[in-house]
């Protein structure tokens, strides 16, 4: 319970003090008596008062002197003081009392109603002031607790991000070797039995990679580590690429995979093609997974346009098993599927739709589903993109064909992992490019100076000198020698926003994550070189 307010009453006559206490009877206060100015000062040193009522005419030290000395005590600097006097009624003494520091002046004999009214006002102000002070102290304590909690949360996020980066690197690097070498092995002459075994390795490897990617993406979204890029790209081409990549999976189940592209949708837009393709790949893969006959169709529709901001709707429709109304309510939640048997029958983490939902929201869009059991499903999402009044973006040549121009390109590949070197170098060489190898950052700089390649593919984590420092040194050398900047492509298993930001800051031009698709690697190299010409 809060301590009751104290009122200091000062008068050289005890009967006057008793009279004051009687007049103020009923107030929830404690009275502290003083029979002289000196005693009042002594009591003020050891107490905090809500109000002081002080007689002016006292022997030794009058009320004026008492108040002047009271004001020199720190916690009494703003103490409200009411003077009372039986003889000083003239304006001169009233003014003197106010100038000394009193807030009011009452003449004797005291009118009890006036005194009680004034005391009540000052007690109310005191109680409000004390309550405000308590609230401020609570707020300060809460702010301190919030600061501590914020520091702990930020520390936890940093620790999680570091763990995520390390796990991403440690898992993706060997997976790049497994998936990449399996793809290269598939391009050699194999008998039927060997190709069957290889197919199992490829399916298992890609399934494991999908699970790893889902978990790492979900962790990055939880840690606010996902950043939506804003780059110019050809929407129709990127959608065709998604269809091309998934057509084989559909064909294996004898399903038609089709695309409808609304004529009102501009081809050249600004947005994040990688994240759009990630959402669509998940939705189309799900549609193929849960459809046994018929077709899967991707539709891109124009919804609205305000100035240059464009709203598009992407729909993936299948003729599959459909989803019950009750199951639909769980679809976009983390680690959730329509029912437990789905995981056993079809696999997956149950994170794909939750990740898709988060990515849609990051692109100012929404996602939903329309479905009935036995009649198929339509998963749709809307996003906002920026349209440009520029010629359509020219996509690169077919990724399935060698380009004669590639034969004139020298590519510097810097990676300390011999397996990853072998995978990337073989992909580039099969496309007709010449490859120069380096195993660390310093070798990359030395071989860049000697060979002046058309492009550099730079791993980030390397011994002796990492890829970031090597890029800084290359950019510095180009500047000093007035050399046209070579396109540098980061190739790394680290995929956080901070990792990408660090690459842009040192002057890298593109970013590709391990494990990578061979066709995508060739596309990025071709795009980087052509942009630089």
pLDDT at 329: 73
Alpha carbons 42 and 316: distance in angstroms, whole number: 86
Per-residue confidence in pLDDT tens, the chain, 533 aa: 568 899 999 999 999 999 889 989 888 899 999 999 999 999 999 898 999 999 988 888 988 899 889 988 988 888 889 888 876 656 666 677 677 767 777 877 888 888 888 888 888 888 888 888 888 888 888 888 888 888 887 777 667 666 666 666 667 677 777 777 888 888 888 888 888 888 777 766 766 766 666 666 655 555 555 667 788 888 998 898 888 878 888 888 899 999 999 999 998 898 888 789 888 988 998 899 889 889 999 999 999 998 888 999 999 999 988 888 878 777 776 544 444 444 434 444 456 788 788 888 888 899 999 988 888 899 999 999 988 754 444 444 444 444 556 768 999 999 988 888 888 898 898 888 999 999 999 999 999 999 999 999 999 888 889 999 999 999 999 999 999 999 999 988 776 667 788 898 999 998 888 777 787 788 889 888 888 87
Give the Cα-Cα-Cα angle 476, 479, 483 (nearest 5 degrees). 120
Q: What is the 3-state secondary structure (H, E, C) of 160-208?
A: HHHHHHHHHHHHHHHHHHHHHHHHHHCCCCCCHHHHHHHHHHHHHHHHH
Whether the CA torsion 522, 523, 524, 527 is positive or negative: it is: positive
Around Cβ 29, how many Cβ atoms within 10 Å?
Answer: 18
Alpha carbons 185 and 182: distance in angstroms, whole number: 5
Alpha carbons 160 and 243: distance in angstroms, whole number: 35
pLDDT at 446: 94
Contacts of 64 (CB under 8 A, 6+ apart): 56, 96, 97, 100
User: Which two tokens mark 48?
Assistant: 């905090």
Around Cβ 103, how many Cβ atoms within 10 Å?
Answer: 17
**Number of helices and strands in the chain (H, E):** 16, 17
| CA dist list (Å): 359 to 15, 229, 381 | 82, 12, 10
Residue 382 contacts residue 313 (beta carbons within 8 Å): yes
pLDDT at 404: 59
What are the chain's domains? 6-110 (3.40.50.2300), 228-395 (3.30.565.10)
């Amino acid at each position: 319970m809060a301590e009751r307010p104290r009122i200091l009453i000062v008068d050289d006559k005890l009967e006057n003090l008793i009279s004051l206490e009687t007049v103020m009877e009923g107030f929830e206060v404690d009275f502290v008596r003083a029979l002289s100015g000196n005693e009042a000062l002594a009591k003020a040193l050891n107490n905090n008062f809500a109000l002081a009522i002080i007689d002016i005419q006292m022997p030794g030290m009058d009320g004026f002197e008492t108040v002047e000395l009271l004001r020199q005590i720190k916690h009494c600097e703003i103490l409200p003081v009411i003077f009372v006097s039986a003889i000083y009624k003239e304006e001169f003494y009233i003014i003197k009392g106010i100038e000394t520091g009193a807030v009011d002046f009452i003449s004797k004999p005291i009118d009890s109603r006036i005194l009680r009214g004034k005391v009540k006002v000052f007690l109310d102000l005191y109680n409000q002031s004390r309550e405000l002070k308590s609230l401020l102290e609570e707020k300060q304590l809460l702010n301190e607790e919030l600061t501590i909690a914020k520091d702990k949360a930020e520390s936890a996020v940093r620790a999680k991000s570091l763990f995520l980066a390390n796990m991403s690197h440690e898992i993706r690097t060997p997976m790049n070797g497994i998936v990449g070498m399996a793809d290269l092995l598939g391009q050699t002459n194999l008998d039927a039995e060997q190709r069957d075994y290889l197919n199992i390795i490829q399916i298992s490897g890609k399934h494991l990679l999908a699970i790893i990617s889902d978990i790492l993406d979900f962790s990055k979204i939880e840690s606010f580590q996902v950043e939506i890029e804003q780059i110019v790209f050809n929407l129709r081409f990127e959608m065709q690429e998604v269809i091309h990549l998934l057509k084989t999976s559909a064909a294996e189940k004898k399903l038609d995979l089709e695309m409808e592209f609304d004529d009102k949708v501009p081809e050249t837009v600004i947005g994040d093609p990688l994240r759009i393709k990630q959402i669509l790949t998940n939705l189309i893969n799900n549609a193929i997974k849960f459809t046994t006959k018929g077709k899967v169709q991707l539709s891109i529709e124009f919804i609205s346009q305000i100035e240059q901001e464009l709203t598009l709707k992407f729909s993936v429709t299948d003729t599959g098993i459909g989803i019950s109304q009750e199951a639909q309510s769980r679809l976009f939640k983390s680690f959730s599927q329509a029912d437990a048997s789905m995981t056993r029958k079809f696999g997956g983490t149950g994170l794909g739709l939750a990740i898709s939902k988060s990515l849609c929201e990051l692109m100012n869009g929404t996602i939903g589903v329309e479905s009935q059991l036995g009649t198929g499903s339509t998963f749709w999402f809307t996003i906002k993109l920026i349209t440009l009044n520029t010629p359509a973006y020219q996509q690169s040549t077919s990724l399935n064909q060698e380009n004669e121009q590639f034969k004139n390109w020298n590519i510097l590949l810097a990676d300390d992992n011999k397996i990853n070197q072998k995978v990337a170098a073989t992909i580039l060489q099969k496309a007709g490019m010449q490859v120069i190898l380096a195993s660390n950052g310093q070798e990359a700089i030395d071989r860049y100076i000697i060979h002046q390649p058309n492009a550099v593919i730079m791993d980030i984590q390397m011994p002796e000198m990492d890829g970031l420092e090597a890029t800084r040194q290359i950019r510095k050398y180009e500047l000093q020698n007035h050399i046209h900047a070579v396109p540098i492509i980061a190739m790394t298993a680290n995929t956080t926003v901070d990792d990408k930001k660090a690459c842009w800051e040192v002057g890298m031009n593109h970013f590709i994550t391990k494990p990578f698709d061979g066709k995508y690697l060739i596309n990025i190299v071709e795009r980087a070189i052509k942009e630089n010409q």
